[in-house]
Structures are given as C-alpha cells and as structure tokens.
Structure 1
Amino acid sequence: MAEHFGLHPLAVEDAVHAHQRPKVETHGESLFVVLKTARYVDSDELVEIGELMVFVGSQFVVTVRHGEPSPLSGVRRELEAHPDLLSIGPSSVLYAVIDKVVDDYAAVIAGLAVDMDEIEAEVFSDQHANRAERIYKLKREVLEFRRAVRPLEEPVAQLASPVTGLPVDRRTEPYFRDVHDHLRRDIEQITGFDELLTNVLQANIAQLSMRDNQDMRRISAWVAILAVPTMVFGLYGMNFEHMPELGSRFGYPAVLAFVAVVCTGLYWRLRRAGWL
C-alpha cells in the first residue's frame, strides 16, 4: 500500500512502529496524522490508550490502528448517512475519524467522573479506611489520559485554521473547529480531574493524620488513668514490714476508694477534653 499510494517512508515507519505523539505532518500533497485513541475499562479503573495513524491524499485515506480503542467500523456508515459531507472527499473522512476519536474521549471522561465521585464520597465518609492507593492509581490514569489528549489540540487547531497551508479542503474548516472546541472542553475537564484528585489525596492524608492523632490521644489518656493504680498498687506490693498503713483496719478499702476516685476524676477530665 505504501508503494501504491506513494506514502513517505518515514511516515510509514512511524505508522508501523507507533509510539508517536499526536501530530500533523505534510509530505508533498499528502498528510500524515497521528492520533491517540482511548477507552475506559471500568472494571479495572484503567484508561487504555491506543494509536491511530491516518494517511490522507487527494484520492485516498489509509488508516493504521494500534490497540482496541476507537474502532472505525461505524465511521463509514456515519459518512454514508451524510452524502453532502462525504462529497467533500478525503478531508471529510479525516474529520470523521478525528471526530470519532474525540467522541470516545467523552466516554472515558464520563467513566472517570463516576469513579472520582465514588472516591470522593469514600474519603469523606465515616468509614476509617485509607483510600490513597485507589486515589493514586486513578490519578496516574488521569495523567496518562491527559498526556494522550492534550498534544492533539495543536494539530486539530492547524486543521481548523485557513492560514496553515495544509492540503485539506477548506470546506471542512467549520467541522474541524467544532472538533477543536470539543477537544478543548475535554482537556479542561481532564485538568480539573487531576486537580480534584490532588485535593482529595491531600484530604485523605489529612484525615489519616487526624485519626492517628486521635488514637494517640486516646492511648495516652488510658495510660494516664492506668498509671494511678499501677503506682499505688506497686507501692504496696513491695512487702516491707514497717509500713504504717498496713496496721489500719480501713487501709485497704481506703486505698481502693482513693484509686477509684482519682481514676474517675481523670476519666471525666479527659473525656471533657475530647481525649476519650
């Protein structure tokens, strides 16, 4: 196919080996466009990233897809349902492919939004659980998604602009501008997700610190209460012969009453202070 359509060897090499950033390149009268595709695997909370390369000439469009996201089976049916758009030629096919990829971004954003709402509710719930691992994992997926989507903004802007000199039919400019608007909106939402996850992670850490402080105060309070009987009973457990209190008839109940009063007083004061 590369020989038949006269595709540039460097573009063909990029299409075969993949791992390219989103871009638009001109090779004579043809275009080479690299897109990042995406889909959200909800069961694993995973954003699966793929690549789609598009060769566009005056009489042909060749696509090379790596990965499962953004299948193009419905793009042809969609174009055939709009003969006015299809009559424009290969440029309309390029628009339809990019529009499909960007539409799939919206589905990924919707999936991420649901899981982020769940995480936010869990962090601020009464359940004492550490959600840091799930938050970090989702944040990493959002960053990967952002790196895939954000670089596409400039290539789409070039296709929508009449001053770039790219070999595309000018009648498709309004369509590319519409895609560019959707893409910018997606990028803003993804950036918002990243910031929100950062705030939720900080809130989760702050709550864990507060819970740790509360646990330490509670432990310290009980240690202080138990120190009183430990000290008193330890004193009378030394088995000395000459201890004045040992000869008292009411010594034993008096000591027990003293310990009980002191421990009760400490418990009451510490509870009022919020340590128990």
Structure 2
Amino acid sequence: MPSIPPLPSFRGSGRAHTPLPHIPVPTARAVVDCAVYVDGRRLPGHFGHAEAMAEVSKRGAGFVWVGLHDPDEYQMADIAKVFDLHPLAVEDVIHGHQRPKLERYDDTLFLVLRTVSYVPHEIHSVSEIVETGDIMVFTGPNFTVTVRHGEHTGLAGVRKELEDQPDQLMLGPGAVLHAVADHVVDSYVTVAQSVENDIDEMEEEVFTPRSTVTIESIYQLKREIVELRRAVNPLGTALEALGRNTTMPLPKEIRRYLRDVADHHTAVAERINDFDEALSALITAALAKVGVQQNTDMRKISARVAIAAVPTMIAGIYGMNFEHMPELNQVWGYPAVLLLIATVCTGLYINFHRNNWL
C-alpha cells in the first residue's frame, strides 16, 4: 500500500491544528466516484484520481470529476497534492460546517454550499425539522472535486443527469459546478414547501378552539426556521458573484445558468424570511388567544361565585339564631326562603348566560 504524502501546511489560518499520527489510509475509501469526461462523454473504465488526472494531461482535453464523501485529512492531503488545492480551502473541507461562501485561488474556484433535509415530525411535538450538511466544490481548468459531508443530498443523481446531457458536459468543469448548485437550491425549494405546510397546519391548529398546540412548539419551529435561514441565505452572495462577475474562470453560458440558479435562490430565501415573520405573528396570536381564554375563564369563575354567593349570604343571615327574624316562626318561611334563593340564582344565571359569561 503506497504511503500518503505529508499534510500541507495550514499556517496563517488562525486555527489550532494538531497533526494526527501518520497512519496511511486509502484515499479510495472516501472516493464515491471518479471519472474522466472528454467531449461530453465519460471514458470507459475505472480511474483512480491520480490516473484520471494523468489521462486528462496526456490527452490535453477533457476534465476529471472526483466525488468524495467525508474524507479525513490524510485522504484530503492526497487529493490536494494531485489537484494542487490551496491549503486553506483543504482545511475548510477537513473541518466542515462552513458558512456558504465562494473563494478564488488563481484559476481554481472553491464553493461551499450548505445542504438541508426535511425531517418528518408531529406538529404537536416539534423537535428537529431540518438536518444540515455540506457540499464543497473545487473547480479548476480541467477538474472538479466535490466533497460531501452528511448522509443526505447525494450527488449520484446529479452525475447521472449530467452524463445524459453531453452538450452540457462539453462546457467543462463549470457545468458540474452549476449542476451541483442547482441541485442544492432545488432541495431548498422542496424543504421550504414542507416547512410552509407545517406552518399552515400549525396556524390552523392555533385558531382551532381547544387546540393542543403550545407556544413552545411554535417557538421551536421558529428556531428551526432560523437554522434554515442561516444555511440558505448566505449562498446568495456567492451565486451572484458566479453569475455576474465576468472575471470568473467560467464560460459565459455557465454564468447564464448560474444567474438562473441565483434567481431561484432569491425566491426561496424570501419565502424563508416570510416564514419567520409568519411565526412571529403566530406567537403573538397564540399569546393573545391565551389571554382571551384566561379572561373567559375568569368571567365564568366570577359568575359561578356570584351565583353561589346568594344562598351563602342568605344562609349566613338565617344562621345567626336571633329570635326576632322575618318569617322565622311562619310555616311557609322555609319554603319562601328556598324560593327566594332559587329565583335570585336563576335570574343571575340567565343574565350571565345572556352576556356570554356562562
């Protein structure tokens, strides 16, 4: 087994870095797929990443697309040596969980995208509705390296769709960059639609009498929307730069496609901002509903207390055992007092019920 080259230096990044012991790890473990494309067609056979790059260099045409999943730093060191990747970008790949951004290192572009996945859940017990990951794309004159962190948003389908469109692949590595960005933004749209359905369902529950949705559930959903917004919104700056900056090392046609992706991203980012405002209004409405319910309960309690006070007051008066009291020595006195209590209590009940207190 060949040994892995030493790691590139990460000085100047501002992060503490503790080298791991030099244990050779096959880079192929992290490689999901590696292919050479010439004139928009995939060359037959299996290539290692070094062999693929040598094949492109020998032909003087085409490009390499290497797909990686959760590589460690030794595996990335090997990839970085073959494709001459900048150490700062390689360090970002190793650490993962980066903010969406675009970096340019000479003729190599480094794009970081956050991926999102919707987690089905019960509306009454919101815990987590959005899982996030990373896709990082290196694009050079004759290569594309995609690195994926997380178990969702695989790129096998993207590769298959591109291989069915040779005219698109003939545009070079930029076609892969566009396809990955378009795939990620499309997943944003899908997740946003699912979240919108959750918000609509929660809104209906909030305004349903005796609903079981709590303010804590709404607030938790709002926190998940904040996480979604942090993953989605920052990508807009990078997409605008790719689509509108003519100095980028991308074909003109690819920049046109990327501008379309940027438009879709802007639309979904605006929807997510609307979600946050809708949930803020929903929290306010839920609090108002709680206040109204408390007022209603207090009115009912007050009405019942007022009705109960009538027999209590009369019984208290007649319970003082004075000798000279009205109707005390009359045969009809006791029934008369009971009739008085019933009449007053009935009148109070009718009055409270008419005014919606009962």
- Fold agreement, TM-score > 0.5: yes
CA contact (8 A) 2:205 2:213 kept: no
Which one is further off, 122-131 or 8-17?
122-131
**Structure 2 residue aligned with 1:257:** 339
Q: Could you list the per-position Cα deviations for residues 91-134 of structure 1 after superposition, in whole angstroms to 9, with x for gaps in the alignment?
A: 11100111110111111012112212211111122334343222
Q: Answer 1 or 2: which has greater helix percent.
A: 1
Q: Matches of 2:208 and 2:221 in 1, distance apart?
A: 19
RMSD: 1.5
Provide Cα deviations, 1:204-254, integer angstroms capped at 9, x if missing partner.
221121111101100000001100100111222233445454222221111
2:348 to 250, 253, 266: 266
- In structure 1, what is the Cα distance between the partners aligned to 2:243 and 2:326? 100
Query: Percent identity, aligned pairs only?
Result: 52
2:162 aligned with 1:84, yes or no? no
Find the aligned partners of 1:83 and 1:167 in 2 and give their Cα distance: 21
Per-residue CA distance 1:43-83 (angstroms, 9 max, x = gap): 36511111111111111111111112311011111111111
Distance (Å, rounded) in 1 between the aligned partners of 2:225 and 2:151: 19
Residues 15-56 of structure 1, C-alpha deviation per residue, up to 9 Å, x if partnerless? 110121111101121111110101101136511111111111
Q: Does 1:61 align with 2:139?
A: no
- Of 257, 263, 267, the match for 1:181: 263
**Is contact 2:116-2:187 (8 Å) kept?**
yes
3-state secondary structure, aligned to 1:48: strand
Between Structure 1 and Structure 2, how many residues are aligned? Answer: 275
Match of 2:187 in 1: 104
3-state SS of paired residue (2:81): helix
Q: Write the distance in 2 (CA, Å) between the matches of 1:147 and 1:274.
A: 48
Kindly provide the amino acid, as one letter, of the partner of residue 161 in structure 2: E
Seen in structure 2, the aligned counterparts of structure 1 residues 128 and 32 have a Cα distance that, compared at 3 Å, is closer
SS of alignment partner, residue 255 of structure 1: helix
Equivalent residues of 2:202, 2:213 under 8 A apart: no
Q: 1:158: Cα distance to partner?
A: 0.4
Instruction: Give yes or no for the alignment of 1:219 onto 2:301.
Output: yes
Tell me if the contact between 1:41 and 1:47 (Cα under 8 Å) persists in the aligned partners: yes
1:4 counterpart letter in structure 2: V
**Counterpart AA for 2:158:** V
Partner of 1:95: 178
Which stretches in structure 2 are left out of the alignment for 5+ residues? 1-78, 122-126
Mapped to 1, the partners of 2:320 and 2:223 lie a distance apart of: 62
CA distance in 2, matches of 1:51, 1:238: 82
Assess if the C-alpha contact under 8 Å between 1:130 and 1:204 holds in 2. Answer: no
1:51 corresponds, among 128, 134, 139, to 134
- Residue matched to 2:204: 121
**One-letter amino acid of the counterpart of residue 74, structure 1:** G
1:16 is aligned, of 94, 97, 100, to 94
Report the alpha carbon displacement of residue 5 of structure 1 after superposing the two structures with TM: 1.0
Match of 2:115 in 1: 37
Is residue 241 of structure 2 the alignment partner of residue 158 of structure 1? yes
Opposite residue 122 of structure 1, the aligned amino acid is: E
After TM superposition, the structure 1 stretch with the greater mean CA deviation from structure 2, 71-80 or 125-134, is: 125-134
SS at match of 1:197: helix
Preserved CA contact (<8 Å) 1:49 1:148: yes
Structure 1 unaligned blocks of 5 or more:
none
Aligned pairs for 1:140-155 within 5 A: 140-155=223-238
Aligned to 1:229: 311
- Provide the rounded CA distance (Å) in 2 between the counterparts of 1:169 and 1:46: 38
TM-score (normalised: structure 1): 0.95
Choose between structure 1 and 2 for higher RCO, CA contacts under 8 A separated by at least 6 residues.
1
In 1, the alpha carbon distance for the partners of 2:337 and 2:82 equals: 104
**Given that residues 52 and 66 in structure 1 are in contact (C-alpha distance below 8 angstroms), is that contact kept between their aligned partners in structure 2?**
yes
Q: Kindly indicate whether residue 288 of structure 2 is the aligned counterpart of residue 206 of structure 1.
A: yes
Residue 41 of structure 2 is matched in structure 1 by none
Given the alignment, which residue of 66, 82, 98 partners 1:4?
82
Q: Distance in 1 between matches of 2:238 and 2:245?
A: 13
Query: CA shift at 1:147, angstroms?
Result: 1.0
Does the CA contact (< 8 Å) of 1:88 and 1:169 recur in 2?
yes
